[in-house]
Amino acid sequence: MTLAGWIFMLSVWSIVTGLLVWTYWKILKGENSE
Amino acid sequence: MQNRERWATRIGLVLAMAGNAVGLGNFLRFPVQAAENGGGAFMIPYLISFLLMGIPLMWIEWALGRYGGVRGHGTTPAIFEYITRKRLFGILGVLGVTMPFMVAIYYTYIESWTLGYSISALMGMFPSVREALAGTSVLEPFNQFFQNYTGMGGSEAFIRPSAMAYVFFLLTFLINVFFVYRGIARGIEILAKVAMPILLALAVVLAVRVATLEPISGHSPLDGFGFLWNPDFSKVFDAQTWLAAAGQIFFTLSIGFGTLITYASYLSEKDDIALGGLSAATTNEFVEVVLGASIAIPAAVVFFGIENTVEIAKAGSFSLGFITMPAIFSYIPLGNLFGFMWFFLLFLAGITSSVALIQPMVAFLEDEYGIKRQKAVILVAAIMLVLMHIPVLMNGALDEMDYWAGTVGLVALAFLELFVFVWMFGVDNAWREINRSAQIKIPIIYKYIMAYITPLFIIVIMVSFAKDLFIKAITFNNPGELAARLLMIGVFLVLAVLYAISRSRKR
């Protein structure tokens, strides 16, 4: 696997995972405050 | 107007929406598309399509659904007519009930293969592999197993699936009907809450197993990841790569099926859709990009090498999932268990989508004819059971339905949704509706993306279909294709008449 491949894979995984965690955190925070 | 059902929890709603989107394509179609279209470079148009087309259409469908549901309608015919005040759009909206129903008819059958294969794996029914998996010739017994199981692969007009395939087809159908019959909160939501965490856990276990495989054909799992992720930048400027990426975003998010609209119709006006839509879309992307890309293709590279994997990918998703993967599982220790996990994972991905595909037809009968849910489900199930025998028994019918309903139709419906909601309802009204009760602030730029960029994406995809579509429309190769077309046209016409009658009765 090339360096560019690593960069692409880890960047995309980070973006998607970060967005996933953030959206679920917001939802759970909203549910708890209701 | 009868009281409409509601989702019990927000997490349940998001998981059901994500389950609707997560399907076999996340594990089989995406890695094949990425590998064939530039690897890591494919992710550039893929992510751009996600941001400029996928997310906006997701919000539009959620907003259309909530808007209609508050007014007692959960499907596109009545929602489109309510917004435009034009019967023509109501009739065109019948596509939003016809297409998910048609896709449910063949998709549930494919889903039944995954259940049948998961039991086959557990019982050790796959051919065994004694020699090293040096070349793809070892796949031949597995290809034969697939052909014997489904009865497909010949050129006769009628196909004869195995008794096992037929039993699992009936079983899968009944499981689907059971969950839809129990309703939104007690059936579909509970299914999603149980199935999605199990699906994620199975995918993680399989991805870890693949990542720790010993090199067999001189290739390590890292070579497999490299095959998928090493960028070929020459492909970034290739129109075909962009079309493949935009097409994948369509399929993977279940946009244009009408299912998201129906699910969102069980929301109240006080429920957020901005965060919910983003969350469901992101869950789907996580399953696709992080987990889906880490199982089948890397495993194929380890066992068969890069050149053979290119050939496997070209043979399509079924070949990868139902022929190559069983061969790999037959070779590794505890292969029966891992094979079961792989196919059961696909089954869970399938069933959370197929219940969503059945629901619009049920909602149509409930909302437009006031038929009670249980009666509507029994009626829909009875019709479905009869019609499902066309793709089960007729050669070419499944592919034909997949092309018209599952490919061309969904792009057309997505364009129609955007046209009605953003252009006819008005950009300002649409924007206000999407942001009503929103838990996050959507950047204002999305208002303009929805109005100008997203439609451009869809138009380009539609134009790219034009040539194939014309050739397909004027030719057919076997009676199965003709039967599939007549079925689709027939269902559309019957629903259009039913819709027109329901409107005249309400007047």
Most A CBs within 10 Å, among B284, B290, B306, B442, to test the A interface:
B290
Mean pLDDT by 10 residues, chain B (507 residues): 86 96 94 86 93 97 97 97 97 97 96 97 87 71 93 83 96 98 98 98 98 89 92 88 91 94 96 96 97 95 89 88 93 94 98 98 97 97 97 92 90 96 97 96 97 95 86 85 95 98 87
CB contact under 8 A, B282 and A19: yes
Q: How many other C-beta atoms are found inside a 10 Å radius of the C-beta of residue B506?
A: 9
pLDDT at B133: 57
Q: Could you tell me the CA-to-CA distances from B156 to B152, B266, B329, B430 in Å, in that order?
A: 9, 45, 32, 51
Best probe of the B interface among A20, A22, A24, by most B CBs < 10 A, is A20
- Cβ atoms of residues B406 and B103 within 8 Å: yes
Average model confidence (pLDDT) for chain A? Answer: 91
State the Cα torsion B145-B146-B148-B150 to the nearest 10°: 160
Q: Which of B366, B331, B393, B336 is nearest to B159 (CA)?
A: B393
Neighbours of B507 (CB within 10 A): 5
Identify the band that residue A31 occupies on the pLDDT scale cut at 50, 70 and 90: confident
> For chains A and B, what is the number of CB pairs under 8 angstroms?
76
CA atoms of B341 and B112, how far apart (whole Å): 15
- CA dihedral over B469, B158, B110, B142, signed as positive or negative: negative
Q: Is B7 exposed, middle or buried (0-12, 13-18, 19+ CB in 10 A)?
A: buried
In chain B, residues with a C-beta closer than 8 Å to the C-beta of A9 are 40, 225, 228-229
Tokens (6 digits) for B126: 């796959």
Q: Which two tokens stand for residue B493?
A: 């016409």
In this complex, do B10 and A4 lie within 8 Å of one another by their Cβ atoms?
A: no
B286 touches chain A (CB under 8 A): yes
Cβ neighbours, 10 Å, residue B153: 12
Q: Is B221 on the interface with A (CB under 8 A)?
A: no
Write down the pLDDT at residue B207. Answer: 97
Q: Determine the residue of chain A that is closest to B9 in CA distance.
A: A31
pLDDT at B153: 75
Contact B275 A30 (CB under 8 A): yes
- Say what the ipTM of the complex is: 0.96
B280 CA: distance to closest CA in chain A (Å): 9
Predicted confidence at residue B83, as pLDDT, reads: 97
The rounded distance, in Å, linking the Cα atoms of B20 and B224 is: 29
| Beta-bridge mates of residue B158 | B394
What pLDDT was estimated at residue B470? 85
State the pLDDT at residue B453: 96
The H-or-E segment that residue B384 falls in is helix B373-387
Q: Which two tokens stand for residue B445?
A: 């730029």
Contact at CB, B285 and A16, closer than 8 angstroms: yes
> Å from B291 to nearest chain A CA?
10
Confidence check: pLDDT of A23 > 60: yes
> What does the alpha-carbon distance between residue B445 and residue B6 come to, in Å, rounded to a whole number?
32
> Which tokens belong to B430?
């649409």
Residues 1-30 of A with CB under 8 A from B: 1-2, 4-6, 8-9, 12-13, 15-17, 19-20, 23-24, 26-28, 30
